[in-house]
Chains A and B, each alone.
Chain A
Amino acid sequence: EVHLVESGGGLVKPGGSLRLSCAASGFTFDNYAMHWVRQAPGKGLEWVSGIGWNSGGIDYADSVKGRFTISRDSVKNSLFLQMDSLRAADTAFYYCAKALTGDSSTLDSWGQGTLVTVSS
């Protein structure tokens, strides 16, 4: 069974940084693309970033490009999101999601999310 567990969320001041982690288990991590999707409280889903099975095909939403960096570690079976220059508008639950294939944008498994709050 696929299991995705996010961590690293919390309260941070505007301009600050956070690094989110997603521990993956129950599947061959190296074979699948992975994505981050966020959801501000009471709002809809917003795709943040995706990374291909071989760390290629990295893409970012325009709203985070230049501030966020996605990466993955096949030894640790983990996905990461380095978030810098955080803004109040980045406040959201951040979900880690597994893709259907190595380069897909179809997200067939999701973690439970970690809350990031950007506030002074």
Chain B
Amino acid sequence: SSELTQDPAVSVALGRTVRVTCQGDSLRTYYANWYQQKPGQAPVLVIYGKNDRPSGIPARLSGSSSGNTASLTITGAQADDEADYYCSSRDITGNHVVFGGGTKLTVL
């Protein structure tokens, strides 16, 4: 089983705010990275570090962390945000990389 736990599915009304969470002991030590994956496409890094966004990622996506939980927040969700979202970090030993099971975000 994954060492990072995500809700399998979350939905949000168009234009509203949604939070996707990721829980794991390693998150007390390491920041989470967040990846967005749309059907038939490769994953794309959307949030990394404390709350950094790669070039081209809209500012409505943001990251935060508290204790063993990391969160990806989408403020004013758009239809284009509908995708699978995966968190990842180092595992508790720091030697391996782990991914959460993924959250399917539906924009209603």
Stretch at the interface among B16-24, B41-49, B65-73, B75-83: B41-49
Give per-residue flags for B31-74: 1 if the beta carbon is below 8 A from chain A beta carbons, else 0. Answer: 00101010000111100110000100000000000000000000
* A100–B54 CA distance with the chains assembled, in angstroms: 10
Are the CB atoms of B54 and A47 closer together than 8 Å? Answer: no
Known: A61-B96, A105-B88, A105-B90. A45 touches B54 (CB 8 A): no
Is A95 located at the chain interface by the 8 A CB criterion?
yes
Number of A-B contacts (CB under 8 A): 55
Are the CB atoms of B45 and A50 closer together than 8 Å? Answer: no
Which residues of A lie under 8 Å from residue B90 when comparing CB positions?
Answer: 105
Known: A59-B96, A100-B48, A105-B90. A45 touches B42 (CB 8 A): no
Of listed B2, B96, B97, residue having the most chain A CB within 10 A: B97
Are the CB atoms of A45 and B44 closer together than 8 Å? Answer: no
Q: How large is the interface on A (under 10, 10 to 19, 20 to 34, 35 or more residues)?
A: 20 to 34
Shortest distance from the beta carbon of A115 to any chain B beta carbon, whole Å: 12
Are the CB atoms of A108 and B43 closer together than 8 Å? Answer: no
Is A83 located at the chain interface by the 8 A CB criterion?
no
Which residues of A lie under 8 Å from residue B54 when comparing CB positions?
Answer: 108
Is A80 located at the chain interface by the 8 A CB criterion?
no
Are the CB atoms of B86 and A47 closer together than 8 Å? Answer: no
The A32-53 residues at the B interface (CB cut-off 8 A) are 35, 37, 44-47, 50
Is A9 located at the chain interface by the 8 A CB criterion?
no
Are the CB atoms of A113 and B35 closer together than 8 Å? Answer: no
Is A106 located at the chain interface by the 8 A CB criterion?
yes
Q: In this complex, what residue of A is CB-closest to B96?
A: A59
Kindly list the 9 A-B residue pairs having the minimum CB-CB distance in the complex, ordered from nearest. Answer: A47-B97, A110-B42, A44-B102, A45-B99, A105-B97, A106-B48, A108-B45, A106-B33, A44-B101
Residues of A within 8 A of B (CB): 35, 37, 44-47, 50, 59, 61-62, 95, 100, 105-113
Residues of B within 8 A of A (CB): 2, 33, 35, 37, 42-45, 48-49, 54, 86, 88-90, 95-102
